């Protein structure tokens, strides 16, 4: 199959590379000349474990190309994926579809022969209809089908998620397009990944409903964690106790500082907008969004509280800035609100993150960025762990204690156990324990 990815960002690049690795002939297109030049030179625009090697292998095998020339990429393709960004529109929270529609128009002008256009970007219900209309308008004689094929890739585990998905969702309005998609995903369903074929609007909603449900699960356990603290229960055991019930499932029940990232915050907001447009209120998701927003600043206040309610003139060492480990992504990271709250309360923040500091510097001024965890900790009045990078899981606690002015440790990801930290002589605050 000849596959073209429009948009060589996170989703497009990972998906395109994995399709190439399955033996398809793939072209990744992007308007950003600099990005394409860097990709041609083997440099990745994002940090994703394993991606650089996979790109190199497939480029070398001649199955993966990069170009800024959309027409050239699209003209002979069997399937053209739209994987451009759909950021939250400033002001109203709606997903901004201008990049998707612009891509659709250009694709329409470039296709030759029967082509399936696939929306991979997360798009509100009904976008597929509009993409179909735009292409039809741009090329009245074009022979094409439009399908929705949402992605379910987690940053940091995206290659594995692509190659071993829980399911593949294809939203299609015609058999011919569905057949092309089955060919595209053939290597995967031979691996026994279930393919769910639905109507197009249903597939579009599956993506939003899935992410909103996961965000709800996280927010639910976060509120239960607050209750645990009040009643003297342990949220880790509560998670395990409920998660072992198959109807609930163990995943996404880790209490923490609130969800962030490029998907959950944006997609929950977009779902709420759609629900307003169609007058079908999603009260649970509304509550989730509000609770999660409040939680991020509350985590800053929790640190202030652990430091005796007054941090003026004090220094906090923050370890972990990205919204989760194994990414350099700072989008909607809880660390942003946590650090701002600490600074508003008068504290100085020293910080270290293995991959996120370049992005963090653009968002957070007045932070002292350090070269390693111990440099951040040295001379601080407290240590706050905000993102659970593996390298923070086995800190040399004696060294940490000797470097801190006071042995105060706030662990917003529960990566240590209260007993071991108490034994090491720290005043320890964690989540829901």
Q: Which residues does the annotation mark as catalytic?
A: 263
Name which position in 252, 293, 301, 401 contacts ligand UDX (CB under 6 A): 252
Minimum CB distance to ligand UDX smaller for 132 or for 332: 332
Name which position in 95, 97, 153, 336 contacts ligand UDX (CB under 6 A): 153
* Minimum distance, C-beta of residue 150 to ligand UDX, in the bound complex (Å): 8
Q: From residue 138, how far is each of 106, 142, 208, 265, 270 by CA, in Å?
A: 8, 9, 29, 34, 28
> How many binding residues for ligand UDX (CB under 6 A)?
20
* Minimum distance, C-beta of residue 90 to ligand UDX, in the bound complex (Å): 21
Minimum CB distance to ligand UDX smaller for 55 or for 153: 153
Cβ density class 324-350: b for 16+ within 10 Å, e for less = bbbbbbbbbbbbbbbbbbbbebebbbb
> Within a 10 A sphere around the Cβ of 288, how many other Cβ atoms?
25
Helix axes 235-243, 200-231, angle to 10 degrees: 140
From CA 420, how far away is CA 254, in angstroms rounded? Answer: 20
Name which position in 259, 352, 392, 426 contacts ligand UDX (CB under 6 A): 259
| Binding of ligand UDX by 409 (CB under 6 A) | no
Closest CA to 301 of 332, 338, 259, 260: 338
Minimum CB distance to ligand UDX smaller for 11 or for 376: 11
| Binding of ligand UDX by 224 (CB under 6 A) | no
Alpha carbon 275 to its chain's center: 23
Name which position in 7, 9, 124, 260 contacts ligand UDX (CB under 6 A): 260
Name which position in 43, 133, 154, 167 contacts ligand UDX (CB under 6 A): 154
From CA 190, how far away is CA 127, in angstroms rounded? Answer: 30
Closest CA to 383 of 196, 392, 324: 392
Query: Judged by CB under 6 A, which stretch of 23-31, 47-55, 256-264, 273-281 contacts ligand UDX?
Result: 256-264
Minimum CB distance to ligand UDX smaller for 214 or for 311: 214
Position with the least CB separation from ligand UDX: 263
Residues numbered 12 to 51 that lie near ligand UDX (CB under 6 A) are none
| Binding of ligand UDX by 151 (CB under 6 A) | yes
φ/ψ of residue 351, rounded to 5? -140, 155
- 8 burial (CB, 10 Å; 0-12 / 13-18 / 19+) is buried
Name which position in 218, 228, 289, 380 contacts ligand UDX (CB under 6 A): 218
Minimum CB distance to ligand UDX smaller for 262 or for 315: 262
φ/ψ of residue 406, rounded to 5? -130, 140
φ/ψ of residue 97, rounded to 5? -100, 10
Query: Judged by CB under 6 A, which stretch of 92-100, 134-142, 153-161, 375-383 contacts ligand UDX?
Result: 153-161
Minimum CB distance to ligand UDX smaller for 214 or for 316: 214
Strands (E), 107-178: 115-119, 144-148, 168-171
| Binding of ligand UDX by 155 (CB under 6 A) | yes
From CA 44, how far away is CA 46, in angstroms rounded? Answer: 5
Residues numbered 294 to 353 that lie near ligand UDX (CB under 6 A) are 323-324
The footprint of ligand UDX (CB under 6 A) covers 151-155, 211, 214, 218, 252-254, 256, 259-264, 323-324
């Amino acid at each position: 199959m000849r596959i073209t990815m429009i948009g060589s960002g996170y989703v497009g690049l990972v998906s395109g590379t994995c399709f190439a690795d399955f033996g398809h002939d793939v072209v990744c297109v992007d308007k950003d000349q600099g990005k394409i030049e860097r990709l041609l030179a083997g440099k990745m625009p994002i940090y994703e474990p394993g991606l650089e090697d996979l790109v190199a292998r497939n480029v070398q095998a001649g199955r993966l190309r990069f170009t800024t020339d959309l027409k050239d990429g699209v003209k002979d393709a069997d399937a053209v994926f739209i994987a451009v960004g759909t950021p939250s529109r400033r002001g109203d929270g709606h997903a901004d579809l201008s990049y998707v529609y612009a891509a659709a128009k250009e694709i329409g002008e470039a296709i030759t022969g029967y082509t399936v256009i696939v929306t991979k970007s997360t798009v509100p219900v009904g976008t597929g209809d509009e993409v179909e209309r735009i292409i039809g308008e741009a090329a009245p004689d074009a022979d094409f089908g439009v399908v929705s094929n949402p992605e379910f890739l987690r940053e940091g585990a995206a290659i594995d998620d692509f190659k071993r998905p829980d399911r593949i969702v294809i939203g299609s309005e015609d058999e011919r397009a569905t057949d092309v998609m089955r060919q595209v995903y053939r290597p995967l369903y031979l691996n026994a990944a279930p393919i769910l074929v639905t109507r197009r609007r249903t597939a579009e909603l599956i993506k939003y409903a899935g992410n909103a449900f996961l965000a709800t699960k996280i927010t639910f356990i976060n509120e239960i964690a607050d209750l645990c603290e009040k009643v003297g229960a342990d949220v880790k055991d509560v998670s395990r106790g409920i998660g072992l019930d198959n109807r609930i499932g163990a995943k996404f029940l880790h209490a923490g500082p609130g969800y962030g990232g490029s998907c959950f915050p944006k997609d929950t907001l977009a779902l709420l907008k759609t629900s307003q447009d169609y007058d079908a209120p999603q009260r649970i998701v509304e509550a989730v969004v509000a609770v999660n927003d409040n939680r991020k600043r509350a985590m800053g206040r929790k640190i202030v509280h652990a430091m005796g309610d007054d941090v003026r003139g004090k220094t906090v060492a923050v370890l972990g800035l990205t919204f989760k480990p194994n990414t350099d992504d700072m989008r909607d990271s809880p660390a942003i609100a946590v650090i701002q709250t600490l600074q508003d309360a008068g504290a100085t923040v020293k910080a270290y993150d293995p991959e996120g500091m370049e992005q963090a510097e653009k968002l957070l001024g007045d932070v002292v960025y350090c070269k390693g965890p111990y440099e951040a900790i040295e001379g601080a009045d407290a240590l706050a762990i905000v993102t659970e990078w593996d390298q923070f899981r086995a800190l040399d606690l004696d060294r940490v204690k000797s470097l801190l002015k006071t042995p105060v440790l706030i662990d917003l990801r529960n990566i240590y156990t209260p007993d071991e930290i108490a034994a090491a002589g720290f005043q320890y605050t964690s989540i829901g324990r």
